Structure formats: structure tokens, C-alpha cells
Structure 1
Amino acid sequence: MRTARFCTGFLGVAIALSAPASRAQSFIEPPMFEAEVTAQNMPPVAERLPMRPRVINLGESGRMPGRYGGTLRMLIADQRDIRLAVMYSYARLVTYNTKLQLEPDILDKVDIAEGRIFTLHIRPGHRWSDGQPFTSEDFRYFWEDVANNPRLSPGGPPLQLRPLGRKPKFEVIDALTVRYTWDVPNPGFLPALAAAQPVYIYMPAHYMRQFHTSYAEKGVLDALIKKEKVRDWEALHERKSRQFRPENPALPSLDPWRNTTPLPSEVFVFERNPYYHRVDENGRQLPYIDNLRLSVVSSQLIPAKVGAGDSDLQARYLRFDNFTFLKVAEKRNGFLTHLWRRAEGSYIALQPNLNASDPVWRSIVRDVRFRRALSLAVDRRDINQVIFFGLARESAMTVMPESPLYDDVFASSYARFDPLAANRLLDEMGLKKRDFDGIRFLPDGRRAEIIVESAGESMEETDALELVVEDARKVGLRLLVHSSHRDVFRRRISGGSTVMSVRPGIDNGLASPDMDPQDLSPTNQNQFNWPMFGQWVETNGKEGQEPDMEGVKELVHLRNQWLASSSTEERRVVWKKMLSIHAEQLYSIGIISGTLQPVVVSQRLRNVPATALYAYEPGGYFGLTMPDSYWFDQSAAGQ
């Protein structure tokens, strides 16, 4: 397989991301479909696969070609978590490999010219899960009938398709080829397609037309609107079209497994996609496993249920402090507990809200001396030893050492424990006067009491915050931790009611220069440290607040440079500058990173690595390890 590290090279240079050139000589029918094939209700596997399927050579990567069958059980805490089946599966138009290089997956090939002309080639014979052809019409339908339909997309096409606000020229070249041409480079295009939550630029047009006013008969469409109890055809189309959160079992899919269970339910069953495009080196169509079974359980009960053997693969809702309990239960209940290293920019980070509605606190958190003082006040070594047994990394918020962009200077910036320096910085700000208990007074006479908002979903986070509260008190700041439901938590931050919150740092601690530095700059209103700045960028200045801080304005400018870049080296320079600004300005105050994530795996489940990096980006936690290649070894059933 020829792959190319994603970069657009110099202007005028064309690059191709290429798929396998050969087709396996014979294919092996999954037993699950043998009866259907015999009854001629389904074509044989050789006719269901694309003419050029993606061949995954498991032996080359030290994994074992597998056997068919079985149901993989996982636990989720909310019906919305069925999106994990799509995230973990990690079937995308293009995907990252374990070397963080982009390669074609669903697509057969991508031709790139001048960093701005992308020609996408569809695999001949590729079909949706219902057997209908996957063609350029599915891209055209999304672009013309959805992304550029003001009723369905009031804000226009996704931001990733509008670098510097400029939309591409879209062309259907033929039934298997489409082209996107921008008048400026768009280095963020392919990374967006490969993301954990990808930008979908296609939809199953043959299915979705029945919900679109341009295609459906009015009477039929009105009847569907009434049946589904939605307000209009736009709401109906939205509900029926969700690919990342597959709540509609009738929606055709390109993923290895497709949901068969409608809402509401406490158990969701995903069945193998008979038309999935990957095969192993022996001609077995992937996935090996027949079904996924996702059971909804209270998040507080998930560790106990996993320890009782009720899950075959589980990481979500497990914490490091569950490890000892899980190790004790391993042999009794037939599973193994691996420890993968988490790869966020920071596992726990304080997020000052630079758009807080309280004018006094807003002025204080915008003063870099305050952010530096708070960072210097935290004893990270103590937190690491007490909560993570010294196994985590004491670091400011930055990328991980495994990233090619890592720099020790960024990781250590204002991350030492120095309460004397912290006190000196706070005194310089004019916050010298203190109450009887040592808490400083604000300029308006209030005590320096900060409510730190938390979603309260992690015991380690809660325990770490208790130590941070003690450290902050020693420099005259009183932190009060308040937990609330995630949705309430987010609304309070975006509305400016929150002065400070806690959450992980940048999602992608494994970033390479060719990945979008969107987490380092205002890009959307869901960012905890500058929600109004992010909204302003997201809406092209129609809503939110224009950045009015020099460092933040420079970050916006630098990301725009990245969006207009035409080479990896240009993008590397931009990333380094942005990381340097964060190291100096501490817009996100990292506490600890590189913590360990328990990953529970059935003793019968093969090809799950014992060690790996647990990261949302890139790859959706399990995605880079290819869960469609996991398989059950029935000979190990008695272990």
C-alpha cells in the first residue's frame, strides 16, 4: 500500500493518497450471512465488496488474522453514547494510521494539487449497508441539497469547507469522482474528514430524498412530519440523517456495524455491515465480530458492572482509581486490565473564562499575572504522588512528548511549585489587602472567592481539585468547586456566568503540524476559556465578541496563517508559535497530563493492544487499533 504523509507540498506539486492497487483473489463469506446468500436474499461476499476493497495486512503489524463470530458487549451511560460505535469503528473517507499519517479508507484515492484542489475517487462497486451504490451523487446531494440549503444549513457549509470564509467550487467529474477546488490552500480539509467526529460531506441520497422538500411529494412528506411529531421537514431531515449519532436504524451506513435498535432503548444492537469495504490479507471481509451490544447503565455503576464481567471492552467511565478493584476481579471474571496512557494536552486543566460577565473577575482573569500566579501556586508533584502514584506527568497544558511538536520549555512553563512567586505576582496586581483568614480582597471589596465549575464526572478530577483548593488558599485565593450536569455546565460557561471551570486541555495531545490547531485558537462557542471569542469566529462576526486581547488576536491570526499554508514546514512554524503563546499566556492552566487509563478486555478478545495511547484525536480512542480487526478466540473460553 502506498501512503503519503498528508501535506500539500509546494505550490504546483500534486500529491496522491493511494489505496491498495490489487484485489484479493478469493473472499471468505461470514457465516452470519451464509443462509441469506444461499436463499439468494443477498449477493455473495465477492459481489458485495468494492472491486478494490481496502486490504488490511494484520500480520505486517504483529496482529493475528482472526475468525468470525461473537457479540462484543460494551456499557454506555446515555443513549446518546451510541455515537461511540461510530467513533470507535473509525471508518472514514481518509484515516490516520499509527504513524499519524493520512491514508485512504472509504475512498480509493485522493489527488491533491497546490494544496487547494482535492479530487476524491470512490472505490468502484462500493455500496451502502442496504446494498445501494455509493457514488458521487451522495456527495452532490450533501453539497447542493443540504450544505447550501439555507433551511437545512442556515450558517452555510461546515467551517472546514470554508477556509478564511471561502467556499470551494464543487464538481462531479463522473459517477465515482468529485472535486473540491478552493482559491486558497485548505490544509484542514482532509484532517477534518479523518477526525474522531468527522465532517460528513456525503449522505445516502437515495434514502434521504424522501425527507427533502425538493424531492418528496408534499402529501407524503406532510404525513411523515406528522408521524414523527416534528415541526417541519427540516427537523425531520435532521433527525433522519444523523450519521455520527446513528439513532435512525433505517439510515444506510458505511461503518463496519450498523444500529438496528430505535430509540428509546436500554440495549442497542449493532449488526455487521454486509457491504463493508475492508478485508484482511486472507480475504475475510471485516469486521470479524458479528454484533456490538451497547447496554445503558448508570455511569456510577459501570466500574462495578465491568468488574463483574458484564463488558468485553471498556474504557469509558473507568478511572485510574478503579484499577486495583479491576485487577482483583480479573481472574474471577475472565478479563484483563490494561493501562493505556491518555493523550490530552492536559488531563486536568483550569480554564479561566476570559469572557466572564462579571467585569471585576473578567479583568482579573485577563491579567496574565493572575493566571501565572495560580499556575505557580499549584503543587503538581504532590497531586501526581497522592492521586496518580507518581505515574502521570507534571506539566503545563501542551502537546505530549509523543508529538513531533513537543518542547520541554512549553511543558515546564510556569509549572514549577513556587508560592512565593505566586504571592509576589498577586501583590503586583494590587491584590495585597487580605481578610482575617488570609483571603485577598478584590478591587471592589469582595473576597477573592472563585467558583470553579465542574461536570463532576471524574473522581480523580474531584480529588485533584481538593488539593488545588488547598494550594490556592495559601496564596490568598479561595476556590469553591461546584459540580453540575454537563449540559448546565456548558450553558453557564457560554453564557458568561462561570469565571473558571475545569476540564482537560486540548483534545489532541498527539498533534502533528498538518493537524488543525483549532483547539489553540478561538473557533467555536463551546470552548471553555473564550466562548464569546469562539462564537465570533464561528459566526464570522455575526454573534459573540471580537477578540480584544493581543495574545488571543495573534492566535486567531496564526490559525488563519495555518489555514492558508501550503507546506508542512509553514504549518510547523505556526504550531510552534501558537504553543509558545499558550506557554507564556496560560489561557488554559494545565495541572497534570499523561495519566493512565484502565482498558478492560475480555480474555477471549484478540488484537487489542496491551499498551497504546488513549486519545480522542486522532482516531477516536480505539480507532487507530482498528476494532473491526478484533476477534473472539473461542478456544480461550475457559480461561
Structure 2
Amino acid sequence: MSFRLAAIATVALLFATASAQADWISPPYFAKDEQDGKLPPVAERIPEHPAVAEMPRQGQQGGELQTLLASARDMRQISYYSYARLVCYDRDYKLVPDILESFEDDKDKVFTLHLRKGMKWSDGQPFTTEDFRYYWEDVANNKDLSPSGPPKDLIVNGKPPKVEFLDETTVRYSWDEPNADFLPKLAGAAPLYIYRPSHYLRKFHAKYVNADKLAEAVKESGQPSWAALHNRRDNMGRNDNPKLPTLDPWVLRTKPPAQRFVFTRNPYYYRVDQSGHQLPYIDQLIVNVAASQLIPTKTGAGETDLQARYLRFDNYTFLKVGEKHGTYWVRLWDDGRGSNLALFPNLNTSDEVWRRLMRDVRFRRALSLGIDRHEINQAIYFGLGNEGANTVIPASPLFKPEYRNAWANFDPVLANRLLDQIGLNQRDESGIRLLPDGRPAVIIIDIAGDSTEETDVLELIKDTWHSIGIDLYPKPSQIEVMRNRIFSGDAQMSLSYGIDNGFPSADMSPQDFTPTTQQQYQWPKWGQYLETGGEDGQKVDLPEAVQLQDLMGQWRRAGDSDARARIWGQILAIWADQVYTIGTVAGIPQPVVVSRHLQNVPERGMWAFDPGAAFGVYKPDTFWLDQPGPLSPVADNK
């Protein structure tokens, strides 16, 4: 990643285009506010050198886009889709400047970030290196706000970076050893936010506010302390505080809780099209909340202009019928996950007997060998998928067929032999093996229960597992309940989506394949331990998993792409051999429903959370409506 000259050259070319503009063009949406003096002219709202968007077709301003989400908590998805990042992935998944004017990377040890002069937050206040200083000195290194210290992504071999604020638009992060993960983390769907709107958050910080005044604010808020109040107001990217300034293209105007959320365009947004029109093209986003199970039906009824989340391949036929009514198109995008659905044995489950089994690689291998993936592919996915393990997919330059095929063929004879070797050689009258404590080997599998797809897949697995003496029962629950059961150790096993990033390059983080976060259902307590610096969770204690953890550290400190590729190879080989998760079928197309009036949405794309932030990599600020239509009123609920 050393000195990404191509990215810098690209941005220089865009600057040349931008500089040629004699006038920037303000959206009609702001005409009255400009006329009334509530907003300055557009030339005073955007940076001196705005980002110039590339897009298939330049569009027209205006209109309202409606979409559906399952809860107020899901409003963070709008931040993911908006995909305003210091650096971002382009459509070729190369890292390029975005919010930043440019950046310099010296051997992955020294990163110099150049902000855009004159850039502003959504409330019109300057966005400068003061916002980076505030975060680093007053948040990340404040024991009240960050008891564990700076994020682990900023710690290399136990040491934080040296952070220098060189001037109003230049900040530098330096480490003694390489930190290859720094730029990818900044570009993540849920990114590493290394800045804050300091002018807003100072009002809740003990360093900047009179103690009596702050105590009164804490009392009024109902929070237990000034730190709790500050953290409650400081939820970057979550879209749960309409007063928190943002750099996103659209600004939340509705205070949760609600069933309908309105986002209006950011008057100070930093991007323009190639003709000088300030983006985004669309004036308002309307997000309606509906139960996840109802979202496919509502989508088919035309109640959304852009929808992919909560849609599954098993909705495709129904959606195609609705397409005939002429209001939307159904497109099929490639899926970027390592497996459409995967099983996650909980190596940290609280049940001691099951924990010993889950930690025995022979047991995990036997369960994988006991699945007939070809049957699942044919019966549920019409033979469209790629059968195999939960690992990288052919779209990744790191892909090898042996990773996908490891312990993934249907071989009940070998599976039975492995289970006998473990000592599970006693069965009950129905043929189910008995655990060492005499219980039948019945695995309770936690699922979110959003679709019949999970239960259909599990029904097929149940049939073939019976031939190796293992039974299963699905336990559906709400996603938050399911996660809490996994995190606490109550769950033995779960079924969910496979690896998020199934198409990594050597320069992308191998975090999905190593213990890093509590969100990894196969080892949540190990991930929690690493996330909290050892304050919570459990220390990684299986040799091969410890090796993965060490390799993750080596990858971060590696000095070049070739070294990182070699480390990736070791990680993927261990992952394949140890079967920490059990994949089924990958490459199942993702339905994407697009209003026939919505333009610049790709016909074919890659549906992936990270990298790419789902729609984000295609920059929805460039999507536009060919028939804008009237706008919904914006409620004033400050």
C-alpha cells in the first residue's frame, strides 16, 4: 500500500475538472433558504476543492426515495449506504480518497491525511483537524469516555500511534511498525471514526463545560454521568441523534423512536457531479419501519424504491410476479459472502459437554461431512450456488479450490468413523448418539427466523445428520435475542450468513477469519476478550486459533502485499482444515428491487457488507429519479 500514487493521480485529475468550474450549482431544494438568508450561497457551502463524482449518467435534482428497514436501530444502514468515508473503496475495490482531498502512505507506517479546505459539517461549522484532535485527546484518550483506551485498530504491538496535527487540514498518524489495516478500517462499512464534531460534543465534555452547568444537563438527560451523556450524544454513524452533525449526504430529521424517518439532503455536502451540481441528487430519503417478515410483501406491493436488505433468493419468484405491474425492476446481484448460510459451532458455549465437543476438530469435521450440499443447492437454490465450505469465493485472488472443498463433501461413512473415534459410540433406540453424560446428541441451533430459507436448509441437514447419529432442532427468535444467547454462551450452535468478505485481496484485512470481535458467532467470548483488551470475555486458548490470532498481528505489521498474501494463505489453510464454521452453498444471487424511475443503480453489482457497504460502493448520492414528484413534509421534532 506504499504511496498509492494512482489514487493521488486520480484525485489530481478530478481537481482539474473541479477547478474548471466557474460556478457551482445549488440544488433547487435550497433556493428559498438561500433567498431568505438562512443558507449561504453554494460556493460558500462546499469545499474549495469538492470531490467530483464519477457516474454512468449525470442526473437531475430532486425527489424522494423510499425504503424499508426493520427497526429504528437499523437506521445505521443509511450511514452504511451513504458511504461518506475518509477513504473509500471504488467500484474496483481500490482505496481512494473520499472525504479526504488526498492521502500519503509511507510503507504502512506513516499516513498523512489531507482534508479539503473549506469543508463543513451539516450544520455549517468547519470540518478541520480540530475534530481529529478532539477525538484523539478528549475522547479516545479520556479514561471516562474510553476506559479501554484508543480502539484496538489504532494499537500496533501494544503501542498507540503518534498523532500530529500539522495544520488545519493536515493530520499525520505514525507507528513504529506497519499498520496495514489502518486505511481499510477507515473505508469500512462501519468505519473507524477518528474524528468527531468537536463544536457540538464539547457541550457535553467536563473539560469544556462549567461543572454546575454540566451537572444540570446530566440531570435533565437522565444519564448517570457526564461521560454517559457524552457517549449517548456521540453515536457516529448510528443515526439516532438528529442534532449530531454529519458529513453524510442526507441528514436525519426524525428523533427515534418512530415508525417513519425522514432524511433531508445535507446543504454542506462535499461532492458535486462533473457539471458542478452539488450532490446528492435526491432531496429526501423516507425510511419506513416494518417487520422484517413483511418487507418482501411490501416490496412486491411497490412500497419501496430501493430494496435488497431483508430480501432473500426465496422471494425472487414472488417479486418477479410483482415486476409485471410495471413499477419496479428485480435485479440479481452477485453475493459476496463466503456462504449464503453457515453453521457456527459455539466454541465458547457454557455447556461443558457441548463445549468439549465443539472444540474437537473431529466433531466439526464430522458435522460438515454429514451435510449433503448438492441436495441443498438443488432443492432450495435451483442448482445456482457453489457448494462448499464457508471461505473465500472464486472472485477473490486468494481463492483456491482446496479451501472450498476441505471437509465439504458428503461422506457419512467418514463422519461416522470420526464420531466413533471421539467416543460417541453409544446410541439410543432411535439411532441418535449419546453424549458422555447420557443425553442424546441433539443440537439446538439458534436462528433469526426471518425466512423459511433457514428452516428449509436445516430440515435437509437434519435428515442427513440423522444418518450419522446427530439430531437438531432450530430455535427461532428475534435477532437481538439470538445474539445475546450466543454472546452469553447459552447457544450451542447458530445458523447465519457466512463470511462477510468472501472476495478479499491480500491488502484487505483477514479479520473475518481470525478471532477479532464478539460478533463472530463461533467464538464470541474470544472476540470480546480481544475487543475489550482482556477486560471481558475469555482468552483464546485453542492452539490453532491462537495461531490465527498471531497471524492477524503479522498481517497488520507486514510491509508489502506479497508478505500479506503469504500470511493470508496460512490463515485460509488453517481455517479450511479446522472447520470453525460449516458452510453450505455460496454465490446465491441477491434480489435487488429498483423503482423504474430510479437511475444509476447498476444492473449487476456485488452485494456485500464489507467491503463495499452494500449499496455504498456504488455511491447512492449519484442515484437520481427521472420523475422526482412531490416531497413529504419534514416534521419538526427537535
Give 2:636's aligned residue. Answer: none
Q: Distance in 1 between matches of 2:438 and 2:325?
A: 60
Aligned-pair distance for 1:635?
A: 9.2
Aligned equivalent of 1:381, options 374, 390, 404 = 374
Structure 1 position 21 matched with structure 2 position 15 = yes
SS of 2:503 mapped into structure 1? coil
Q: Distance in 2 between matches of 1:213 and 1:542?
A: 25
> Over residues 359-395 of structure 1, what are the superposed CA-to-partner deviations in whole Å (9 max), with x where a residue is unaligned?
2222222121111111111011111111111112212
Aligned-pair distance for 1:608?
A: 0.6
Q: Distance in 1 between matches of 2:79 and 2:50?
A: 20
Matches within 5 A, 1:9-408: 17=8, 19=11, 20-22=14-16, 23=18, 24-25=20-21, 26-58=23-55, 63-332=56-325, 334-408=327-401
Equivalent residues of 1:86, 1:244 under 8 A apart: yes
Query: After alignment, is 440-449 or 181-190 more displaced?
Result: 440-449
Q: Distance in 2 between matches of 1:226 and 1:321?
A: 50
Aligned-pair distance for 1:15?
A: 9.2
Aligned equivalent of 2:2, options 3, 8, 11 = 8
Matches within 5 A, 1:498-517: 498-517=491-510
Equivalent residues of 1:378, 1:471 under 8 A apart: yes
1:412 maps to amino acid: N
> Over residues 385-441 of structure 1, what are the superposed CA-to-partner deviations in whole Å (9 max), with x where a residue is unaligned?
111111122120111211111111101111111111211221222222211111111
> Does the C-alpha gap of structure 1 residues 194 and 311 become closer, same or farther in structure 2, counting only changes over 3 Å?
same
Q: Distance in 2 between matches of 1:292 and 1:15?
A: 34
> Over residues 549-580 of structure 1, what are the superposed CA-to-partner deviations in whole Å (9 max), with x where a residue is unaligned?
22111101111101111111111111111111
> Does the C-alpha gap of structure 1 residues 38 and 542 become closer, same or farther in structure 2, counting only changes over 3 Å?
closer
Q: Distance in 2 between matches of 1:599 and 1:344?
A: 16
Q: Distance in 1 between matches of 2:628 and 2:210?
A: 56
Equivalent residues of 2:52, 2:273 under 8 A apart: yes
Equivalent residues of 1:15, 1:111 under 8 A apart: no
Which stretches in structure 1 are left out of the alignment for 5+ residues? 1-6
SS of 2:365 mapped into structure 1? helix
Give 1:616's aligned residue. Answer: 609
Q: Distance in 1 between matches of 2:159 and 2:151?
A: 11
> Over residues 2-34 of structure 1, what are the superposed CA-to-partner deviations in whole Å (9 max), with x where a residue is unaligned?
xxxxx137xxx9997463332241322211011
CA RMSD of aligned residues (A): 1.7
> Over residues 573-599 of structure 1, what are the superposed CA-to-partner deviations in whole Å (9 max), with x where a residue is unaligned?
111111111111100111111112111
Q: Distance in 2 between matches of 1:120 and 1:379?
A: 51
Structure 1 position 533 matched with structure 2 position 526 = yes
Give 4+ residue runs of structure 1 displaced > 4 Å after superposition.
13-18
1:573 maps to amino acid: R
Equivalent residues of 1:15, 1:113 under 8 A apart: no
Q: Distance in 1 between matches of 2:257 and 2:341?
A: 34
Equivalent residues of 2:133, 2:165 under 8 A apart: yes
Query: After alignment, is 377-386 or 444-453 more displaced?
Result: 444-453
SS of 1:220 mapped into structure 2? helix
2:170 maps to amino acid: T
Query: After alignment, is 13-22 or 445-454 more displaced?
Result: 13-22
Q: Distance in 1 between matches of 2:575 and 2:599?
A: 41
1:129 maps to amino acid: S
Aligned-pair distance for 1:44?
A: 1.7
Give 1:4's aligned residue. Answer: none
Q: Distance in 2 between matches of 1:8 and 1:342?
A: 30
Q: Distance in 1 between matches of 2:8 and 2:515?
A: 31
> Does the C-alpha gap of structure 1 residues 220 and 15 become closer, same or farther in structure 2, counting only changes over 3 Å?
farther
Percentage of matched positions with identical amino acids: 50
Equivalent residues of 2:7, 2:96 under 8 A apart: no
Give 2:635's aligned residue. Answer: none
1:201 maps to amino acid: I
Aligned-pair distance for 1:487?
A: 2.2
Give 1:430's aligned residue. Answer: 423
Give 1:576's aligned residue. Answer: 569
Q: Distance in 1 between matches of 2:372 and 2:6?
A: 49
Matched length: 624
SS of 2:117 mapped into structure 1? coil
Q: Distance in 2 between matches of 1:589 and 1:95?
A: 31
Aligned-pair distance for 1:494?
A: 2.0
1:389 maps to amino acid: F
Give 2:634's aligned residue. Answer: none
Equivalent residues of 2:339, 2:587 under 8 A apart: yes
Aligned equivalent of 1:452, options 406, 423, 445 = 445
1:73 maps to amino acid: Q
Aligned-pair distance for 1:548?
A: 2.2
Which stretches in structure 2 are left out of the alignment for 5+ residues? 631-638
Q: Distance in 1 between matches of 2:2 and 2:146?
A: 29
Q: Distance in 1 between matches of 2:230 and 2:303?
A: 36
Q: Distance in 2 between matches of 1:465 and 1:286?
A: 46
Equivalent residues of 1:56, 1:281 under 8 A apart: yes
Query: After alignment, is 546-555 or 253-262 more displaced?
Result: 546-555
Aligned-pair distance for 1:333?
A: 5.3
Equivalent residues of 2:111, 2:173 under 8 A apart: yes
Q: Distance in 2 between matches of 1:489 and 1:460?
A: 17
Q: Distance in 2 between matches of 1:547 and 1:235?
A: 31
SS of 2:321 mapped into structure 1? helix
> Does the C-alpha gap of structure 1 residues 492 and 192 become closer, same or farther in structure 2, counting only changes over 3 Å?
same
Q: Distance in 2 between matches of 1:578 and 1:238?
A: 36
Aligned-pair distance for 1:535?
A: 2.5
1:50 maps to amino acid: P
SS of 1:258 mapped into structure 2? strand
Q: Distance in 2 between matches of 1:512 and 1:171?
A: 30
Aligned-pair distance for 1:491?
A: 2.1
Aligned-pair distance for 1:546?
A: 2.4
Equivalent residues of 2:62, 2:628 under 8 A apart: no
Aligned equivalent of 1:629, options 604, 622, 635 = 622
> Over residues 490-515 of structure 1, what are the superposed CA-to-partner deviations in whole Å (9 max), with x where a residue is unaligned?
22222222221111222111211111
Give 2:489's aligned residue. Answer: 496
Structure 1 position 473 matched with structure 2 position 466 = yes
> Over residues 430-487 of structure 1, what are the superposed CA-to-partner deviations in whole Å (9 max), with x where a residue is unaligned?
2222111111112222211111111222321221111111111111001111112222
> Over residues 171-225 of structure 1, what are the superposed CA-to-partner deviations in whole Å (9 max), with x where a residue is unaligned?
1100111111111111111111100000111011111111111112223322322
Aligned-pair distance for 1:636?
A: 11
> Over residues 530-560 of structure 1, what are the superposed CA-to-partner deviations in whole Å (9 max), with x where a residue is unaligned?
1222233223334333222221111011111
Q: Distance in 2 between matches of 1:219 and 1:483?
A: 49
Q: Distance in 2 between matches of 1:627 and 1:403?
A: 25
SS of 2:316 mapped into structure 1? helix
